[in-house]
Chains A and B, each alone.
Chain A
Amino acid sequence: MPQTLTEKILSRAAGRPVTPGDVTEIKVDKVAFHDLTGYHVIEVMEKVGSLKVFDPGRLVIAFDHLAPPPDVRSAEIQGIIRKFVRELRLPNFHDINYGILHQVLIEKYVNPGEVLVAADSHTTTSGAVGAFAQGLGASDVAAAVITGRTWVQVPQPFKVKLVGEPGKWINGKDVALKILGDFKADYFNGMALEVFVEKPSAFPMDYRATVANMGIEMNADALMFVPDSETVSYIKAMRGYEPPVVTPDPDAKYADEYTIELNKLEPLLAAPHSVDNVKTVGELEGTPVDQVFIGSCTNGRISDFTMAAQILKGKKVKARCIAIPASYNLFEKLMEMGIIKVLADAGCIITYGTCGPCLGGHFGIAGPNETIVSTSSRNFKGRMGSNESKVYLAGPAVAAASALEGKIADPRRY
């Protein structure tokens, strides 16, 4: 029987053919956690009485949520994990100067067709390279670290087609928000989105990572870009090898399908306090903004900062602006390109490789009654700080234009 990408990956992982609705045990190819969930994973392993890793080469750890530590307890948490890494001699550990876990995973580790589980909901990001990637809680991840196995219910596959080419200020965020606006946040619960890109180079890996990242905001069980020439060239550029590629069979059956014409998209935002409260920039233009955040595992990549820099070059921001490339690798390239200097000269405060502001952790917490425009993935009440703050989610172009004007602004005027 012809298989979708979901069925192909999960059948291999289960060791038998599976179809949507099946509940099955599967082998995992990679397991990962970060600092804020990692100590909890280790605590569960200790309680189970099994402090062992099924295959140390398949476990990836990166410090990002508490990087660098904002308080004593955070430093203590990182210490617990460093000790675990030392004692078990784990090779794939990345301390605070490296990058956000999900960026590290697509840069270095995850291959098309693999199964990744990690103790963070934005694990869906690795769907950008065509992996079946799911976030799990600390206990489930502890079980996977020990045994190399987990269980899944095989989701219903849903086909998304991206056709044409996006306009100048449009990127992955506008596609993610378009889907959320059209379907709302509960629609894809129990489904896996498989995204087919008509013209692979028109929708590069940065954009794909944003859409896959926000698969969890759609409550999808997984969101995967069907591997194509862009996937192969990205991995080759990052790691120096050509990965094997898994694709769905041409006549595989999907629960439904949906097409986005990229050239018709306009800049979108999600207004407080829900990711599916989607508006066009025209509907919100002029809303006063206190702080802008450009970064996170959602939109903290080269094309995001290049887009922002085009708007900010030679000018000064009116709203406070925080810029955080998702990894050192990206930060280094942005330095070489002169983008970091453009952002700093415009008045942005810059670091790299921390989740800080996205979860109201540190490096720019929202105060009471403040309005934030953020390129991150969530605008839930209280998410970035005060319960009385408001968060608008947007792509980097809207974020940069809003920083410049101190109010929500349309980048198409630049």
Chain B
Amino acid sequence: MKVEGKVLKFGDKIDTDIIIPARYLKYTDPEYLAQHAMEPLDPEFYKKARQGVILVAGKVFGMGSSREQAAIALKAAGVKAVIAESFARIFYRNAINNGLPAIVLPNATKEINEGDYVVVDVETGEIVVNGSKVLKGKGLTGMPLEIVKSGGLIEYLKKAKV
């Protein structure tokens, strides 16, 4: 399973109040949430992400609240995958559960630049930058990969007939 897109780059400690402020949490509609994704940092994010982008970020991406809307908003805005140096545990699970691939790559912010074009192999974690440079991130295996392949935890649970 591969995803690709142009890179939008962020720093360390991008928190969930940045990804989707609490005032938008009374709804789960992906389109509504997408319009407010990353709003405190960049009100134009929605327009930039629309074409399909890969986010690259530093440490503990998604730290803070358990709001699943953070993953829903990014995915609906057009984010195909998030590559970060590390993820906050809850966000990582929320991303997987909503079919948004999350790839750990130490030094991601040093190796990849804003505007680069990257192709990500979600299973192997292989990241090809601008058609030439090859980086090795931590891909998904086991249950997380199965969940992403199913399109999210809801579809996965339906199949499991819980």
Contacts and interface: CB of A to CB of B under 8 A. Distances in A.
Contacts of A139: 68, 94, 97-98, 152-154
Interface string B58-99: 011001111111010000000000000010111001100110
B22 A136 contact: no
Contacts of B142: 23
Interface string A131-158: 0001111111001001100010000000
A255 to B, nearest CB: 16
A102 interface: no
A56 interface: no
A112 B143 CA distance: 30
Contacts, number: 116
Interface string B35-58: 000001100000000000000000
Contacts of B154: 44, 47-48, 139
A46 to B, nearest CB: 10
Interface residues of B, number: 40
Contacts of B41: 381
Contact of A186 (B12, B97, B98, B153): B12
B25 A136 contact: no
A359 B60 contact: no
Contacts of B157: 48, 50, 143, 146
Given A47-B154, A121-B90, A136-B93, A380 B28 contact: no
Contacts of A48: 154, 157-158, 162
Contacts of A221: 89
A119 B59 CA distance: 23
A261 B28 CA distance: 46
A119 B66 contact: yes
A359 B64 contact: no
Interface residues of A, number: 46
Contacts of B65: 120-121, 359
A140 B41 CA distance: 28
A383 B134 CA distance: 38
Contacts of A216: 64
B30 interface: no
A40 interface: yes
B64 A140 contact: no
Given A121-B64, A380-B15, A382-B17, A74 B152 contact: no
Which 10 interchain pairs have the tightest Cβ spacing? Answer: A137-B68, A137-B94, A380-B17, A186-B59, A139-B97, A359-B22, A139-B153, A135-B66, A382-B40, A121-B66
7 contacts: A37-B66, A121-B66, A140-B153, A186-B13, A219-B89, A381-B40, A381-B41
